[in-house]
Structure 1
Amino acid sequence: MAEAHQAVAFQFTITPEGIDLQLSHQALRQVYLSGLRSWKKRVTRLKNNVITGVYPASPSSWLFVVIAILATMYTRSDPSMGLIAKIQEHLPVSDSLSIQCRTVVSAVLFSTLLWFSLIFTMRLCLKQLLSYHGWMFEQHGKVSNTTKIWAAMVRIFSGRQPLLYSYQGSLPNLPVPTVKDTVNRYLESARPLMSDSEYERITTLAQEFESSLGNRLQWYLKLKAMWASNYVSDWWEEYIYLRGRGPIMVNSNYYGMDFLYVTPTPIQAARAGNTLHACLLYRRKLNREEIKPGRVPGLNIPLCAAQCERIFNTTRIPGEETDSLTHWQDSEYVAVFHRGRYYRLWLYHAGRMLSPREIEHQVQRILDDPSAPAPGEAKLAALTAGDRIPWAQARKEFFSSGVNKRSLDCIEKAAFFVALDDDEQGMMGDDPAGNLDRYAKSLLHGKCYDRWFDKSFTVVVYKNGKNGLNAEHSWADAPIMAHVWEYVMTTDCFQLGYNEEGHCKGDVSSSLPQPSRLTWDIPVQCQERVDQSLAVAQALADDIDFHVFPIQEFGKGAIKKCKISPDAFIQIALQLAYYRVRHKTQRIVLKSVHLKLTLAEEPQVSRITLTMNMFH
């Protein structure tokens, strides 16, 4: 209750003499500083919206256009060809405005319209340029003159120093391919995998589809493409991910590893301190749009950054028919799991971000807490690991009101989830390969109840200082999370660092509130649902055969020298493995397949991780 009393800004007592009002100046100061931080974020967001809205121009270019137009007017020339005079005629007549002032106002209005017209033209030109796809079909090492000219024009119209979302308004809409092209590509890919009789049959079916149902469906797609920048993304998100009623653990969620051969500190709380602080630094850069937009390597072609919006403060909410993704604008805390207990850990205090040393101190308080889990609390997260319909029903029945709803809201609205594991992982002992297998399985599914699989991502910190992550897949593709994790690891080791004892650098404020335990009231019926979901998830986890192959002989640089992408290399490896087992080529459909490819330039740190349940 101590932290609850600290949160009271004022209290009053009614006495016979009147009302005795007592103000807590410290609490009021906390409220003020928290509100100040919120308003700073709003101002930053507004400023970025203005800069992004006028890109590829800049707000300062408006002043340049105004000065240029006014300068030409003072030289007795009219660049507007009479438009400034027309605008002046329609201005309201006022005694406070002289003729000269009305002329200046008209010139400013004309300059603003001209400025917006230039922005629109530049955006249109950039959008048309980005619609060119000829660069995709260029041979390696040979670039045509057309592509070179096109690349130069893209650079000219792309502007300078773009923010993360600057290109969003200039990206072309996803084109709808013709039915004939789609059918031809399908038949071309199917031909090597079928006998003559099978191919003849599939060709007949494809032609029937093209001449009948295909044309009707094509009109629906064209109509949708007129209203949406990407006619397939929302359907893909819903029908490929959110409508799946099986467990998302293993089937959808993926994982990310720590450095294989380096552990910056063996202290669990210290590693958590730097890792969580680095995540906050990335989120601050994300909110300020200071992260450079992604581009195609070697070319100045921007990539869509829309998926970055949901990295933090995002949760997948279960439903009986389909799940939904909910994103909140901001969250100043993370939800932490340790030894079957849940905590709210505030990462901001007095309107500022906690230092790594302060986060370490708070995490250590959680690790030192001797209290036991409440009945039904320890394995509660198994609901997120099992089938979706039972979880949706249990959420509606047991978590829609009262203390359970408040605690569940705390987890779902957190910036992300943190799991403090009691076991040790990594390349240890005499069996490094076997240890990597266990390490990967721990990150992928853990104990099936120590990860909140619905959160956008879970940071896992082990007892020996190793860390990793488990990420939910529906909100973004894996490269988005890979960029976050790369930033976190490099910032942790090469910027934040640790002192000689292995602790985080910096000092600890004496006024930090204790991390608060989340309280639950889990009835017996709900505990039975938890056990059922855990049984489903455990059976799935036990069915996973996992082996990690650390590759020492080569890295991605060697693969690229063969003029092949690392992804294509793995696809060929899968086909070759199937051929060696079955002695024939076949279209491979993988059920519950998890492919992690991190091939570095240097072979010492390269690794390939491949998991599969079965071939069909």
Structure 2
Amino acid sequence: MAALRLSPAVRKLKLKALCWAASPGERCIARAPVGGWTLQRASSSSSIPDTDYLHQSIVPTHHFQKSLPRLPIPKLQDTVCRFLNAQRPLLDNDQYRRTEQLAHDFEQGIGKQLHEELVAQDKKNKHTSYISGPWFDMYLSARESVVLNFNPFISFNPDPNPAHNNQLIRAVNMTVSAVRFMKTFRAGILEPEIFHLNPAKSDTAVFKNIIRFVPTSISWYGAYMVNAYPLDMSQYYRLFNSTRIPRPVQDELFTNDSGKHLLVMRNGHFYIFDVIGQDGKITKPAEILAHFKYILSDSSPPPEFPLGYLTSENRDTWSSLRQRLLEAGNAEVLNKIDCAVFCVCLDDITIKDHVELSHNMLHGNGFNRWYDKSFSFIFTKDGCAGVNFEHSWGDGVAVLRLLNEVFKDTINRPAALPTTQPAAVDSSHNVQKLEFKLDDVLKEGILNAKEKFSTSVSSLSMDATEFKKGGKVLLKKHNLSPDSVAQLTIQMAFLRQYNKTVPTYESCSTAAFKHGRTETIRPATIYTQKCCEAFVKEPSKHSISDLKAMIGECSKYHWQLTKEAAMAQGFDRHLFALYHMTKSKGMPLPELFQDPSYIQINHNILSTSTLTSPAVQSGGFAPVVPDGFGVGYGVHDNWIGYNISSYPARDVKEFIKCIYKSLDDIFDVLDGQSING
């Protein structure tokens, strides 16, 4: 449709509404739009039909999907310009001149040809986006273990009712709420995901009663007229009954929504029971409670050969061993795992601090996980709850919506209370413990996987800090982007510790477009470099007003980069698509893609992602390179938190100290105080 080609003026209006950092491409921790909007928005649904559903939206779930704008392909000259701007703080003059020449040669030569082919290909595939196929290929063809390399975690805040922070109660409540979410989504009555720029006009019964009658082919435009921006929801169907299946060369995403059972893991054993009955209703909470209690009463020691370790293996190795499992007569049990609605992991540990919580939710002990499930709820003995999710099927927007809805529902309508008694049912007839047939090759494979897993996770360090001197409220009073200050702090800390500016990755959702995934914000800029050097190397040479002005320059430019990324006007995905095209066609790799500077900027030493939501305590992920940091952070109203990981090549404890010192200096300057170098 011609109307999809929005004018520049319309685009400017749109990007005011659609700028928030979200899920990274290689690592995903999402951020809810401003002020915990996801929870507030969800509460505006109409009446709840019955206890099997979250709510009943009068606007169908996929009402806007057909008319979503298509993901734009940036102009090649803009991509080259943005690429060079991002390279400037990373290179010396000679390196930059060489890269600049290669980039312009690419723009005028082979890059122009590849870009034209990409545009032509995109016009033939209007049902999707230009990045969707290459992005799935990137994830599914990766042969590394999904553990640490891809799967991130998000941990829930405690339930406001302390009595509900119990392993059994939380497991029942979150299981029921998640199944309610699934049923609401599949019934088409889950509220569409919409960013409301002016909720007083668009998040109202009047608007919903009008927009539901607008044809789906133009419904997006109806929402746009009142500054409401529907988001892509195509990833949601992979949340449930889905598993990543290892295959040679490239894995497969498997979804079979006929599965009615839950997969439960405890002590390395596998159990299943139905959470949806023959009548299509959710199993009664008291029965689910009885089944969980029955599983927890199983005194069997961990299996000698815990199968869960295999999902932490190299994907080709795991593919070969899975084929061996099938040939050994395990097809039925594997299918039950793959078809399960989702996975619940009941861990027999008590969390002593935030670092232990992060390690447990990110990787755990290896044998009580099935890392290939689309997502797994994890519940510790003391009632801590979190989610570990496989990343290839989708990004953090879908996962965070699930978490927010589940958390809100468990608070407002808990399915089980501390006084709830387990149903008088014979769980031994309803709960099936899965047994596997293992030959010597499989047993050896499991032991090898266990050894590799232990070596891998033992090399990961994590640490965290909370800065309580200010947050979003104070920064906005100074007309600063909170995210820009959080990112400036990361740059300043790394310069303080290592005296370098390095490639940095921050993700941004492009869910405003049909089948959008993510774009990259590049927070290391000439402005952050100048500001960091002033703070770290020569603070006494600059007045407080000069330092404030530098912070303001960083904020202004970072906000520009964020707006561009949210509108799919970065450079990373465009160049990635062109690179993917050369590889898929078997063409010689263009010189630009062989340039050490191009390779370096994609070696993201600082991989960062942000997360703030009323449902979420923290989130985290491993570094994307051996000599990197994985930086999860959240800017809250009156405090800022960082959750950081590293391998032995970097000192995470020292980096945390440098983060805190940098925050201290920035907030002192904003308060009109001088700083010490």
TM value normalised by structure 1: 0.69
Shift of 1:201: 0.9
Pair 1:412 & 2:311 matched: no
Q: Please point out which of 233, 255, 267 is paired with 2:132.
A: 233
Identify if the C-alpha distance between structure 1 residues 230 and 211 changes in structure 2 by more than 3 Å, giving closer, same or farther.
same
Aligned to 1:320: 248
| CA distance, structure 2, for counterparts of residue 565 and residue 480 of structure 1 | 25
Aligned to 2:588: none
Q: Please point out which of 464, 480, 484 is paired with 1:548.
A: 464
| CA distance, structure 2, for counterparts of residue 324 and residue 318 of structure 1 | 7
Output aligned runs, 1:10-21, within 5 Å: none
Aligned to 2:112: 215
| CA distance, structure 2, for counterparts of residue 454 and residue 308 of structure 1 | 17
Output aligned runs, 1:359-398, within 5 Å: 359-372=288-301, 376=305, 379-398=306-325
Aligned to 1:29: none
Shift of 1:476: 1.1
5+ residue gaps, structure 2:
19-56, 198-226, 505-603, 606-622, 652-677
| CA distance, structure 2, for counterparts of residue 297 and residue 321 of structure 1 | 42
| CA distance, structure 2, for counterparts of residue 288 and residue 560 of structure 1 | 41
| CA distance, structure 2, for counterparts of residue 533 and residue 189 of structure 1 | 40
Aligned to 2:608: none
Query: Contact 1:385 / 1:449 at 8 angstroms: preserved in 2?
Result: no
Identify if the C-alpha distance between structure 1 residues 261 and 450 changes in structure 2 by more than 3 Å, giving closer, same or farther.
same
Amino acid at match of 2:315: R
Identify if the C-alpha distance between structure 1 residues 564 and 220 changes in structure 2 by more than 3 Å, giving closer, same or farther.
farther
Per-residue CA distance 1:139-173 (angstroms, 9 max, x = gap): 99xxxxxxxxxxxxxxxxxxx95322111111122
Query: Contact 2:262 / 2:274 at 8 angstroms: preserved in 1?
Result: yes
**Greater alpha carbon shift after TM alignment, 292-301 vs 557-566:** 557-566
| CA distance, structure 2, for counterparts of residue 355 and residue 550 of structure 1 | 41
Amino acid at match of 1:247: S
**Greater alpha carbon shift after TM alignment, 561-570 vs 292-301:** 561-570
SS at match of 1:163: coil
Query: Contact 1:348 / 1:354 at 8 angstroms: preserved in 2?
Result: yes
Query: Contact 2:363 / 2:457 at 8 angstroms: preserved in 1?
Result: yes
Identify if the C-alpha distance between structure 1 residues 132 and 264 changes in structure 2 by more than 3 Å, giving closer, same or farther.
farther
Output aligned runs, 1:184-583, within 5 Å: 184-228=81-125, 229-239=128-138, 241-260=139-158, 263-298=162-197, 299-351=227-279, 352-372=281-301, 376=305, 379-400=306-327, 402=329, 404-425=330-351, 428=352, 435-496=353-414, 499=417, 502-504=418-420, 508=423, 510=425, 513-583=429-499
Identify if the C-alpha distance between structure 1 residues 300 and 206 changes in structure 2 by more than 3 Å, giving closer, same or farther.
same
SS at match of 1:200: helix
Per-residue CA distance 1:203-256 (angstroms, 9 max, x = gap): 1111111122101211220122112330111201211x1111111111110111
Q: Please point out which of 80, 91, 102 is paired with 1:183.
A: 80
Query: Contact 1:334 / 1:346 at 8 angstroms: preserved in 2?
Result: yes
Shift of 1:312: 0.8
Aligned to 1:611: 645
Identify if the C-alpha distance between structure 1 residues 608 and 208 changes in structure 2 by more than 3 Å, giving closer, same or farther.
same
Identify if the C-alpha distance between structure 1 residues 587 and 348 changes in structure 2 by more than 3 Å, giving closer, same or farther.
closer
Query: Contact 2:374 / 2:393 at 8 angstroms: preserved in 1?
Result: yes
| CA distance, structure 2, for counterparts of residue 287 and residue 293 of structure 1 | 12
| CA distance, structure 1, for counterparts of residue 247 and residue 17 of structure 2 | 48
Shift of 1:445: 0.2
| CA distance, structure 2, for counterparts of residue 138 and residue 489 of structure 1 | 29
Query: Contact 2:486 / 2:635 at 8 angstroms: preserved in 1?
Result: no
Across the aligned residues of Structure 1 and Structure 2, the Cα RMSD in angstroms comes to 2.8
Aligned to 2:52: none
Output aligned runs, 1:148-187, within 5 Å: 162-187=59-84
| CA distance, structure 2, for counterparts of residue 382 and residue 231 of structure 1 | 35
Output aligned runs, 1:38-117, within 5 Å: none
Identify if the C-alpha distance between structure 1 residues 133 and 600 changes in structure 2 by more than 3 Å, giving closer, same or farther.
same
Identify if the C-alpha distance between structure 1 residues 214 and 609 changes in structure 2 by more than 3 Å, giving closer, same or farther.
same
Shift of 1:198: 1.5
| CA distance, structure 2, for counterparts of residue 522 and residue 220 of structure 1 | 50
Q: Name which structure has the greater RCO, CA cutoff 8 Å, separation 6+.
A: 2
Shift of 1:609: 1.9
Pair 1:135 & 2:13 matched: yes
Per-residue CA distance 1:574-594 (angstroms, 9 max, x = gap): 211111112343334234354
Query: Contact 1:331 / 1:413 at 8 angstroms: preserved in 2?
Result: yes
Amino acid at match of 2:447: D
Shift of 1:192: 2.6
**Greater alpha carbon shift after TM alignment, 565-574 vs 212-221:** 565-574
SS at match of 1:183: helix
Query: Contact 1:191 / 1:199 at 8 angstroms: preserved in 2?
Result: yes
| CA distance, structure 1, for counterparts of residue 17 and residue 313 of structure 2 | 47
SS at match of 2:73: coil
TM value normalised by structure 2: 0.63
Amino acid at match of 1:538: S
| CA distance, structure 1, for counterparts of residue 163 and residue 482 of structure 2 | 29
Per-residue CA distance 1:375-432 (angstroms, 9 max, x = gap): 52xx211111121111000011222462x1111111111011111111112xx5xxxx
Shift of 1:597: 3.5
| CA distance, structure 2, for counterparts of residue 309 and residue 584 of structure 1 | 43
Query: Contact 1:341 / 1:372 at 8 angstroms: preserved in 2?
Result: no
Amino acid at match of 1:275: M
| CA distance, structure 2, for counterparts of residue 139 and residue 254 of structure 1 | 27
Aligned to 2:32: none
Query: Contact 2:491 / 2:501 at 8 angstroms: preserved in 1?
Result: yes
Identify if the C-alpha distance between structure 1 residues 556 and 365 changes in structure 2 by more than 3 Å, giving closer, same or farther.
farther
Aligned to 1:36: none
| CA distance, structure 2, for counterparts of residue 479 and residue 557 of structure 1 | 24
| CA distance, structure 2, for counterparts of residue 565 and residue 347 of structure 1 | 44
| CA distance, structure 2, for counterparts of residue 522 and residue 558 of structure 1 | 60
| CA distance, structure 2, for counterparts of residue 125 and residue 162 of structure 1 | 23
Aligned to 1:596: 632
SS at match of 1:191: helix
SS at match of 1:419: strand
| CA distance, structure 2, for counterparts of residue 131 and residue 168 of structure 1 | 23
State the structure with more CA Rg: 1
Shift of 1:346: 1.0
**Greater alpha carbon shift after TM alignment, 313-322 vs 351-360:** 351-360
Query: Contact 1:130 / 1:172 at 8 angstroms: preserved in 2?
Result: no
Shift of 1:320: 1.9
Shift of 1:369: 2.2
Identify if the C-alpha distance between structure 1 residues 305 and 559 changes in structure 2 by more than 3 Å, giving closer, same or farther.
farther
